[in-house]
Structure 1
């Protein structure tokens, strides 16, 4: 047995030359859901596919659990978390707390998806899980179907007001899930009104300036990003694979795909800053609706690491405004500089 480490993700995930994989699975690293509610938000876990290990954590404002009178239905957010395709789940404290705050701030139901992780399940496994999760959600909007209905979604969700949210790798997953499924029109009668991508994870073999200048003490470094791509992309692929670089040869032509209006949040000190700009500008050239929010002082994952900072509050306010305003089909270009 060759016990040499070939990849080490901050001690949480280790990959060895002989193919052995170690994951740190300490129960104290995870938060259990609470039907009693935390900060006015109830949560529970639902298994979608036991064989695949695919599950979701649902979040609902607590007042809707014991409603005695008819309340309005709530917007529905389907959330895909970050972690370089290989780390974390909805039960990680930082992500759980972010989703609690999102639910409370926006006044929405949130479905946080625990997709399969690399390297045990390389891409496109996470994209397939994205599509399965959307199929499960959309099954509540029609009669019948292959999925068991959840009472929270059945009773309280407005399926004409569905939004996707993804941060870092989760933004990549939501993007590819929509593209691979044929665009937002494929989900009718469920209406995907918009998508919010926070520092979405895309790249290419050619280094951007923000990648080359990324300091070694950043939360997301170039070394860490490269390692995530190595263990997540199909074996033998490089960063010009369409999963990483949606503008590479062989990638779907995005001008032909019906994408929802987008809000993209970019960190001014994030290694992914320049690739995020390229993503937004390329989509606008295809005639897509893209709002851009720039938080100049922030690095990667600030909203989870510093949930109460001014930038995190501004991000939550912008997400709320984006959802409540029901973005139009026209091209929008709004840039906020923190």
Structure 2
């Protein structure tokens, strides 16, 4: 039979466990103001509750592609996965493209170690024979904009300090705006609502809302596209993506409505939806997308 002391300790542990559970729950004074299920909840007091443990794939040799990867530290706050293609990179005659990769997920979800991201980058590295640096910026909503932009810029500066030649930036952009496009209006209503609320959640101090130039590069007051520092650009979208029209509008503004002197190309995956290359890594459409990116690098 348990002693009174043991019973007291058990009761103390149970109370602590109960209080811990209560602290992560909504109340009348601290309601949920943003429900991004199944990933996280944001409460009125600014606290965040992640709803599930995230599966992580460790860096290392991938047996399917022979791509090798490892973790590196860029700064105290920024880390990355670096992917090396299955060729002799020590050969003096071998010159590889470098892709600086900023993943999608609305700045809120996924990491380089997320299985779907890791698998995609293993495949892209193998097909393109490129070195890929996948940046792990600090995530919202725990960290608000501009932290993510600052972290990505720190990664770009780190790459520039280690390489003199021009590389390639592969960006999964999140573009939005106050006025919905046709593709956004026909999107799943639940997804559309979450996307429409997303910017206000990750950048609560913004006064322009969804027409903030940091999320809508075509909004009033946005920097001139003529000032883009690159000379070539490949924009990729998919036919059924809710954000498809944003990509088309950006392409049109870039090629017909600006004084940018570079060359832009547009690729659209027929019949595919948002992030199909992550959800269907072995599909023909994903293979075509990777091949198109690889061709752009040559």
Q: Which bracket does the TM-score occupy, shorter chain normalised?
A: 0.7 to 0.9
Matched, 1:212 2:185: yes
Which of 271, 289, 294 is matched with 1:297 structurally? 271
Q: Which has the higher strand share?
A: 1
Query: TM-score by structure 1 length?
Result: 0.74
CA RMSD of aligned residues (A): 2.0
Equivalence map 1:1-338=2 (5 Å) = 2-24=29-51, 26=53, 29-35=55-61, 39-50=65-76, 52=77, 54-64=78-88, 70-141=92-163, 159-167=164-172, 171=173, 201-216=174-189, 221-237=191-207, 238-285=209-256, 286=258, 287=260, 288-324=262-298
**1:61-94: CA deviation from partner (whole Å, max 9, x where unpaired):** 24437x6x54512111000000011111111100
Residues 37 and 62 in structure 1, CA contact (< 8 A), matched pair in contact too? no
Q: Is the 8 A contact 1:13 1:87 kept in 2?
A: no
Q: How many residues align?
A: 267
2:88–2:94: 8 Å Cα contact kept in structure 1? no
C-alpha distance in structure 1 between counterparts of 2:194 and 2:62, whole Å:
38
Q: Distance in 2 between matches of 1:44 and 1:106?
A: 18
Structure number with greater Rg is: 2
In the alignment, the residues of structure 2 paired with residue 265 and residue 205 of structure 1 have an alpha-carbon distance, to the nearest angstrom, of: 23
For 1:78 and 1:292, how far apart are their aligned partners in 2? 20
Q: What's the offset of the Cα at 1:9? A: 1.9
Q: Distance in 2 between matches of 1:272 and 1:61?
A: 31
Runs of 4+ in 1 over 6 A off after TM superposition: none
Instruction: In structure 2, list runs of 5 or more residues that go unmatched.
Output: 1-26
Unaligned runs of 5+ in 1: 142-158, 172-200, 325-338
